[in-house]
Copies of this chain bind each other. A is one copy, B any other.
Amino acid sequence: MYKEEFMRKAIRLSIDNAKKGGGPFGAVIVKGGKIISAGVNKVTVKNDPTAHAEMEAIRNASKKLKRFSLKGCELYTSCEPCPMCLSAVYWSNIDRIYFGNTKKDAAKIGFRDDFIYHELSRPILKRKLRITQQLRDEALTAFEVWDLLDNKTEY
């Protein structure tokens, strides 16, 4: 259930991080009415292009709960998640997202979220990034091995 204090916490993190010269993004993950993890954008300070606020919060929450599924958790983020972070939310089974700024707001200050959403929605051959398929027959072996495993952990 939405609580304004959690949204304000995510926003507070985003403002504080921007003031320090980090990306202007913050996020918290809530479970059972309590914040269990937080994250701010650390792309430039950690030299990690994947270190968005939501990714950091998701990784921190998984570490804390010692499980890869965050079912039962909610994400509060200062900005609409980019497609990387939104996909991570799906992979982590988070129940719900609350966000402040939109991807259009982010585009206005120079972030590529909106562009990447657009690229992902296009067929492979129409994207600006060159993507080519190779050796599918050989690659399928890994899927066959996986498919036949008896005691695998699915996700």
Q: Which residues of A pack against B, CB within 8 Å? A: 2, 4, 7-8, 11, 14-15, 17-19, 21, 23-26, 43-44, 46-50, 55, 58-59, 62-63, 66-70, 78-80, 82-102, 105-106, 108-110, 112, 115-117, 119-121, 129-136, 138-143, 145-147, 149, 151-155
A-B contact pairs, 25 of them (CB 8 A): A7-B134, A15-B142, A18-B143, A43-B91, A44-B153, A48-B59, A49-B155, A50-B55, A50-B58, A50-B59, A80-B131, A83-B84, A84-B85, A86-B120, A87-B116, A87-B120, A89-B129, A98-B131, A98-B134, A100-B135, A100-B136, A100-B140, A101-B136, A109-B146, A121-B121
